[in-house]
Structure 1
């Protein structure tokens, strides 16, 4: 079952029309969250990022779009799918209602909630090889729109095709200044000694929720230094570790980039702290 504007419908239902603005213009935002036994990981952070993004895109925020209302709709959808006692992946998409060309006829929005089962209730470190490559065909823009979680993800799609065709698990994306910004499905962190570095929002990376949480964890951990600075491709092969963060997987440790192989001791340590923070909300 999916939740379309509060109506619980079969996943096979014809919900979206040919005039859907998310389809035609990418005029949509989304949040992907983990829901474990009725608890949505970092829900307040996801909610406030969505509200901020809607304001930036000049979408009209409905009066009923409170934190409690959307949380209730997510949980209702999870329960309707029989996943209230199991780990669930939830995607909440908000898109401007039909009408208009580039200029919309209305700023009112619709929402769609989809859920699917997951294996583990908490974040686990990935096992086995995980190889990445630099994707240089197209660039991430250095502007605020790149910080938002919109459905304009064609760069990520093309990079995914490149990765699949060439046997890589992921790709590192760069901006017009040739700085490494993020990966296809999340933010990037680089470890060298006791220093943990991640690109700043000004370089065009996604304003990720787990990025934010991990920055808080690193800043509060004695013996670690956080740097929010640009990352050059030349730094990648000098690093001790590289890892990815996103809301579904938590931390994904990169094993290899070109001839360089990486450890994952720091990623493992931080993953434990991230799980603890998730349990506390």
Structure 2
């Protein structure tokens, strides 16, 4: 079932208006959330990031769009599944109401909540190969708009097609200054010795929920130094370990970039800690 503005519909019954502003102008934001047994991982972080994104896009946030209201709508949608106690990827999509061209006729919003079952209840550290390359055809613009989860993801789409055509598992995206910003589907953490580095938000990387959680965990580990600094592509082959992180997959170790192969020692340390935080959140 899909929740559209508080009403539940079978997916087969859904239709999309041709003048939907998300479809026509990319006038939409979204959140992808992980749940287990009706529990929403890192819900407060997701909620406040979504509210921040809506404010940046100057959407009119309804008075009833509280954290408690949206949580209840997510849980109500989960209740419709016969496997409601399984692990799910929940997507909340918010778009501005139809009408207008570039200038909207209204700043009011509509929303949808959809579900996708996941295979594993908690985060795991996969041991499968993950070879990456740079995607250099187009660049992410550094700045505030690049940090939000809008549905303008053309660079990610084209990078994913490039990876598929060239048998890579993922790609690193660059900003206009030729700095590593993120991967196709998550933030990037680079390990060199005892220093762990991730790009700052000012470089244009997504303000990731898992990124925030891992930075907080890293700052509790005295044997490591966590820094938010720009990453040059030249640093990649000097690194000991590289990870892609997002709230659905958790921590994904990069195994190869060009001729360099990487370990995943830090990932083994972080995995139980992030599962603990997800369970306690």
| TM-score of Structure 1 vs Structure 2, range by shorter chain | over 0.9
Aligned to 1:42: 42
The whole-number CA distance in structure 1 between the counterparts of 2:142 and 2:78 is: 37
Aligned to 1:237: 237
The whole-number CA distance in structure 2 between the counterparts of 1:82 and 1:109 is: 30
Q: How big is the shift at 1:128?
A: 1.7
Aligned to 1:201: 201
1:261-272 → structure 2 map (5 Å cutoff): 261-272=261-272
Q: Once the two structures are superposed, what CA deviation does each residue of 1:112-159 show, in whole Å capped at 9, x if it has no partner?
A: 000011111100011221100000000000110000000000010000
Aligned to 1:254: 254
1:48-59 → structure 2 map (5 Å cutoff): 48-59=48-59
Residue 9 in 1 paired to residue 9 in 2? yes
Equivalent pairs counted in the alignment come to: 281
Secondary structure of the residue aligned to 2:11 is coil
The whole-number CA distance in structure 2 between the counterparts of 1:128 and 1:35 is: 24
The answer to whether the 8 Å contact 1:255/1:263 transfers is yes
The whole-number CA distance in structure 1 between the counterparts of 2:4 and 2:19 is: 16
The whole-number CA distance in structure 2 between the counterparts of 1:254 and 1:60 is: 40
Aligned to 2:133: 133
Aligned to 1:62: 62
Aligned to 1:222: 222
Q: Once the two structures are superposed, what CA deviation does each residue of 1:230-277 show, in whole Å capped at 9, x if it has no partner?
A: 000000000000001101001000000000000001012111111111
Aligned to 1:18: 18
Aligned to 2:27: 27
Secondary structure of the residue aligned to 1:263 is coil
The whole-number CA distance in structure 1 between the counterparts of 2:83 and 2:89 is: 10
The answer to whether the 8 Å contact 1:75/1:84 transfers is no
Q: Once the two structures are superposed, what CA deviation does each residue of 1:201-240 show, in whole Å capped at 9, x if it has no partner?
A: 0100000000000000001112110010000000000000
Aligned to 2:279: 279
- Provide the aligned C-alpha RMSD in A: 0.7
Secondary structure of the residue aligned to 1:243 is strand
Secondary structure of the residue aligned to 2:219 is helix
Aligned to 1:160: 160
Instruction: Output the TM-score relative to the length of structure 1.
Output: 0.99
Instruction: Output the TM-score relative to the length of structure 2.
Output: 0.99
Aligned to 1:72: 72
The whole-number CA distance in structure 2 between the counterparts of 1:201 and 1:124 is: 27
Aligned to 1:175: 175
User: Which 4+ stretches in 1 moved above 3 angstroms?
Assistant: none
Gaps of 5+ in 1: none
Aligned to 1:142: 142
Q: How big is the shift at 1:15?
A: 3.3
